[in-house]
Amino acid sequence: VDDDRHQEVLSYFLSQIKDGLQAKEGALRGIIEDRVREQGGRILGWAIGGSIATKVLSAAAQELDRIDPENSSLREGFTSWVRLQIDRIETDPERGREFTQAVTSVLSHESVVGWWGDIWLRFRRMVEADVEDPQGRTACLLRDALARMAGQLRNDEVLRQRIEERVDGTIGKALPFVRDQMAEFIARVVSGWNAVEIAEKLELRVGKDLQFIRFNGTLVGFAVGALLFAVLRLTFGINAQ
C-alpha cells in the first residue's frame, strides 16, 4: 500500500472487467432484455428492452472509465478502504481470525492446491532444465550475483567487517551445541566398542609409532644389559649370567 501496489491490482481487475463486458456484451444484453420482459411484459420488453440494455452497459463502461484514472476520487477511496481493513486486521482479533480463516479456506481448496502443484511442477522442470545449461538464466544469474558480491566485498571494508562479525557470532553461538553433540556422539560410538576393536583401531592409528617404541625398547634393553655386564665384569670380575 505504501508503494501504491494495490492500485496496480485494482487496475488489473478493472481491465479484466472491461474485457469481460466487451466479450460478453451480447449475452449480457440478452439477459437484461429478458429481465425487462419478465418485469414489464413482452410488449414493454420488445419496445424498450434493447435501449435499457444499451444504457445499462454504457453506464457500466462509463463507471469503469471514471474509476480508471490514477487521480480519481474512487481510487483514493479504495486506498482509504484498504488501509482501514489493514488496521482492523491488526487491531481487531476477531477480524484477524476471519481474514486468516478466509485465506486458509481459499488456499486449502482442492482446486487451488492442484493449481499450485501444477505451477510448482512446471517451475521445477524449468529450473532443472535451465540449471543443466551452462549458459542458462540460472547459471548467469548466479555468476553475476557472485561476481557482484565478490567485488563489493573486495572494495567495501565495512561490509567485510559486518560479515566477519556475523560469522564469528554465529559460530560462537553454535560451538557449545556442536561440542555437546560431538561429545555425545563420540561417547556413544566408543561405548559400543569391545577391547579387541579398541586394540585394532589403536594399532591402525599408532601402529608405526608402536613398532618404533618396541624397537627402541629392545635396543635400550640390550644396551643397558651390556653396560651392566661390562661394569660387573670390570669391577668384581663376576661373569654375569
Decide if pLDDT at 23 tops 70: yes
Model confidence pLDDT, tens digit, residues 50-63: 777 777 777 777 77
- Say how far residue 208 (Cα) sits from the centre of its chain: 51
As a whole-number percent, the residues of the chain with pLDDT over 90 amount to 0
For residue 157, the tally of other CB atoms under 10 A from its CB is 9
The pLDDT of residue 240? 46
Mean pLDDT of the chain: 79
Q: Is the dihedral of CA 8, 11, 16, 19 positive or negative?
A: negative
Most confident of 28-32, 59-63, 182-186, 196-200: 182-186
pLDDT of residue 11: 82
**Does residue 241 surpass a pLDDT of 60?**
no
* Range among 49-63, 167-181, 223-237 with highest mean pLDDT value: 167-181
Cell of 85: 481493513
What lies within 8 Å, CB to CB, of 107 at 6+ separation is 113
DSSP-derived letter for residue 27 is: H
pLDDT digits (tens, 9 = 90+) for 103-153: 888 888 888 888 888 888 988 888 888 878 877 788 888 888 889 888 888
Mean pLDDT of 18-25: 78
Tens digit of each residue's pLDDT (9 = 90 or more) over 33-87? 777 666 666 665 566 667 777 777 777 777 777 766 666 777 788 888 888 888 8
What is the mean pLDDT of the segment spanning 157-186? 85
C-alpha cell at 56: 445499462
Q: Is the pLDDT of residue 223 over 80?
A: yes
Dihedral over alpha carbons 37, 38, 44, 46 (to 10 degrees): 20
Contact at 8 Å (CB) between 229 and 240?
Answer: yes
Residue 177: how many other CB atoms lie within 10 Å = 9
CB 138 within 8 A of CB 130: yes
